[in-house]
Chain A
Amino acid sequence: MDLVPALARWLHFLAGIMWIGLLYYFNFVQVPALKAAGADGTAAGITKHVAPRALLYFRWSAVVTWLAGAALLGGNFVGAFTFSKGLAGIGIGAWLGTIMLFNVWALIWPNQQKILGMKPATDEEKNKARRVALLASRTNMMLSMPMLFFMAGGWSHRALFGL
């Protein structure tokens, strides 16, 4: 067994669990919790102490996941992204993961900085940022489903997939 792919797979899973785990935390727990907390005036506890920490691990675990995945693909990197024979399944997963990484850094994080007051923004800009960040986060949650389907099965079960 080659050491680099073994370590890359391990790291890819560790970081990936943190990334997608925090994505599901945001969507299943924090968004509805903030709605309830806003009603009784306790939202600051979440926005000040919880959300910045969760976002820190969220955005950097996304980077580590992608880099470890690229290392795991190794010489198959280009073949996967161009859907070469036998690599199409994992390639679809890789493309979906890449789009999700883009959403984290280009849409979710910059807008969350405005929402949480890390960047100056008017109330109107904050409202717009809330909408963009929510939809980008929900888009990533939606994409995570086919991404995991193809990532989990696209490599180990490619004969079954026929991809």
Chain B
Amino acid sequence: MKNPLDSIWGTIISGLILTAILYLAAMKFLT
């Protein structure tokens, strides 16, 4: 599988997904 960080759009989409994951994890475990 190609590394998503090899492309700009792959990096942006990875950043959006990571933001959502961290937000959901923070709401579940840190509130």
Given contacts A28-B8, A138-B5, A142-B5, contact A89 B15 (CB under 8 A): no
Q: Mark A63-98, 1 if CB is under 8 A from B, else 0.
A: 000000000000000000001000011001000000
Q: Are A142 and B15 in contact (CB under 8 A)?
A: yes
**Interface assignment of A38: CB less than 8 Å from any CB of chain B:** no
**10 smallest A-B Cβ distances: which pairs?**
A145-B15, A138-B5, A88-B30, A146-B19, A142-B15, A162-B31, A142-B14, A138-B11, A146-B22, A149-B19
Q: Are A27 and B15 in contact (CB under 8 A)?
A: no
**Interface assignment of A163: CB less than 8 Å from any CB of chain B:** yes
Q: Are A145 and B19 in contact (CB under 8 A)?
A: yes
Q: Are A142 and B18 in contact (CB under 8 A)?
A: yes
Range class of the B interface residue count = 10 to 19
Interface of B is mostly: helix
List chain A residues, Cβ under 8 A from B30.
Answer: 83, 88, 163
List chain B residues, Cβ under 8 A from A145.
Answer: 12, 15-16, 18-19
List chain A residues, Cβ under 8 A from B5.
Answer: 134-135, 138-139, 142
Q: Are B18 and A89 in contact (CB under 8 A)?
A: no
Q: Are A162 and B18 in contact (CB under 8 A)?
A: no
**Interface assignment of A19: CB less than 8 Å from any CB of chain B:** no
Chain A contact residues, CB within 8 Å of chain B? 27-28, 83, 88-89, 92, 134-135, 138-139, 141-146, 149-150, 161-163
Chain B contact residues, CB within 8 Å of chain A? 3, 5-6, 8, 11-12, 14-16, 18-19, 22-23, 26-27, 30-31
Q: How many Å from the CB of B18 to the closest CB on chain A? A: 5
Given contacts A27-B8, A142-B5, A162-B31, contact A150 B22 (CB under 8 A): yes
Q: Give the contacting residue for B26; candidates A138, A141, A163; CB below 8 A.
A: A163
